[in-house]
Amino acid sequence: MQTELDPVDVEILKLLQMDATLTNKELAFKLSKSIATIHERIRRLKEQGYIKRIVAILDRKKINKNLIAFSQVLLKEHTASTLYAFENDVAKFSEVMECFQMTGAFDFILRIATSDMDSYHLFLRNKLATLPNISTVQSFFVLSETKSETAYPL
Amino acid sequence: MQTELDPVDVEILKLLQMDATLTNKELAFKLSKSIATIHERIRRLKEQGYIKRIVAILDRKKINKNLIAFSQVLLKEHTASTLYAFENDVAKFSEVMECFQMTGAFDFILRIATSDMDSYHLFLRNKLATLPNISTVQSFFVLSETKSETAYPL
DNA sequence: GGTTAATTCCGGAAATTATTCGGATTTTTG
DNA sequence: CAAAAATCCGAATAATTTCCGGAATTAACC
C-alpha cells in the first residue's frame, strides 16, 4: 500500500489546511480528479494520520481571550520524574494552550490564554506558581498578532 | 438580533473546536435541539465571526516539520515604519508560522517550523538575518510538545 | 395584564454531498 | 510480456445540508 504523498495528496492537504469545508466535488474540480478519487484520498490521509483532526478555529477576541502570554519556566530539578510531573500538572490548566520543553536557559515555554492581565495574575499566583519544583517564571505578553498560521507549507 | 452567546452556542463552539466533522444531526442529538436549529446557530456563529474557519490539522512530524523553534527578535529601531516593515517582511517567509509583537526585553517572537537544524540554519542565515534593522535573534528549540491545543476553553 | 412584534424553534421537502461498489485503466513486479 | 496490484472512475444509494412555512416562545409596549 502506498504510504508516501503524491502531488494530489499534497494539494489536498494544502487546500484542507486552508479550508476544510471544501466539498469533495470542489476538490475534484480543482484537482481534475473524480469525486470518488478525492474521497478515497482523504480517507487514506486520515487513516494514515497525516490529517489529525478537523477543527473550528475561533476568533479569540470574540470569546474574551484578549491576553496571550508566553511564560518561560525554570524548574529547580531536572529528574525524569519532576519533568514528567510538571508536564502533567500544567496540562490540566485550561489557560495553558501549549506547553513545550525547550533547549536553552529555561525548561518550558507555555502559551497562556486569558481574558486580561488580572486573570493572568490569578493564573500565575493560584495555579502555575503553586506547582512544586518551580524555580522561576518569566512572562512576556503579546502586543499584537502579526501572523498566525495553522497551515504548514507543503 | 442576538449577538451574545447563549449556552447552546457555547456548547456548539466547544464541540466544533474539538471535532468539526460532527454532523448537525449528531450535534442536535447531543444538545437536544432540532437539526434546523443547529444549522441556523452554526450559520450565525460563522456570520458573526465567532468561527473564523474550519481547517485540517496535520501531523507535523509526518510532513517533515520536525523542528520547531521560537526566535526572539530585537530590532535596532522602533519607529512605526520599521516595525511595520519587519512584520510585513517576516510574514512572507513560509517557515514562519506565527509572529507576535511582544512586551519586554525583545520585540518579536516567531514560531518557526522546519525539517531540521540545517534547514533552520539556512532560514536564519539566508532569510531572517538578511532583513534590515535586525539587531539580535535568539533561538530556542522545542525538545518535546507536551500540550498543544487549538481549542479555547469556554 | 394583554396584545403585538420579534425571535427562536421545529418538521419536512428539496438540493447537495458523502459513501459504496464493480469494473476499467494504469502501474508495478517478476 | 504477462500477472498482480494499485488507482481511478461513473453511477447508485445513503446521508447530510439547506431551505421554508408556520408553531411556539420570548420580548416589548401600551
For the stretch A73-127, pLDDT in tens is 999 999 999 999 999 999 999 999 999 999 999 999 999 999 999 999 999 999 9
Any B CB within 8 A of A103 CB: yes
pLDDT for B1 equals 63
Q: How far is A1 from chain B (nearest CA, A)?
A: 17
Q: What integer pLDDT is reported at residue A1 of this predicted model?
A: 63
| Phi and psi torsions of A43, nearest 5° | -55, -45
Q: How far apart are CA B60 and CA B116, in angstroms?
A: 12
CB atoms within 10 A of CB B135: 11
pLDDT at residue B31, as a whole number? 96
In tens, the pLDDT along B39-85 reads: 999 999 999 999 999 999 999 999 999 999 999 999 999 999 999 99
pLDDT at B88 over 90: yes
Give the mutation candidate from A43, A53, A61, A141 for the B interface (greatest B CB count, under 10 A): A53
Measured between CA atoms, how close is B89 to chain A, in angstroms? 11
CA quadruple B87, A20, B151, B70: dihedral positive or negative?
A: negative
Q: What is the CA radius of gyration of chain B?
A: 21
Which residues of chain B does A62 touch, with a Cβ-Cβ cutoff of 8 Å? 48-50
B23-43: average pLDDT = 96
Round the average pLDDT of chain B to a whole number and report it. 96
Residue B122's pLDDT is what?
98
Report CA-CA distances (Å) from B123 to A10, A102, A104, B69, B113: 23, 20, 20, 11, 10
Nearest to B15 by CA among B2, B29, B4, B1: B29
If one counts every other C-beta atom within 10 angstroms of the C-beta of residue A80, the result is 7
Best residue of A58, A87, A89, A141 to probe chain B, by most B CBs closer than 10 Å: A58
At A15-53, the pLDDT tens digits run 999 999 999 999 999 999 999 999 999 999 999 999 999
* Alpha-carbon distance A145 to nearest alpha carbon in chain B (angstroms): 5
pLDDT bracket for residue B3 (50, 70, 90): confident
Query: Rounded to 5 degrees, what are φ and ψ at B54?
Result: -115, 125
Residues 50-79 on A with a CB inside 8 Å of B are 50-60, 62-63, 65, 68, 70
User: What is the pTM for the complete model shown?
Assistant: 0.93
3-state secondary structure of B35: helix
Whether B152 and A113 lie within 8 Å, measured CB to CB: yes
In angstroms, how far is D15 C1' from A31 CA?
A: 25
User: Quick check: B145 and B66 in contact, CB under 8 A?
Assistant: no
B90-129: buried (b, 16+ CB within 10 Å) or exposed (e) per residue? Answer: beebebbbbbbbbeeebbbbbbbbbeeeebbeebbeebbe
Determine the pLDDT at residue A9.
Answer: 96
Q: Is the pLDDT of residue A10 over 70?
A: yes
- CB contact set of B72 (below 8 Å; sequence gap of 6+): B106, B108, B109, B137, B138, B139, B140
Which tens digits make up the pLDDT trace of B113-153? 999 999 999 999 999 999 999 999 999 999 999 999 999 99
Three-class DSSP labels, A121-134: HHHHHHCHHHCCCE
Q: What sign results for the dihedral spanned by CA atoms B85, B91, B94, B96?
A: positive
8 Å CB contact between A14 and A151: yes
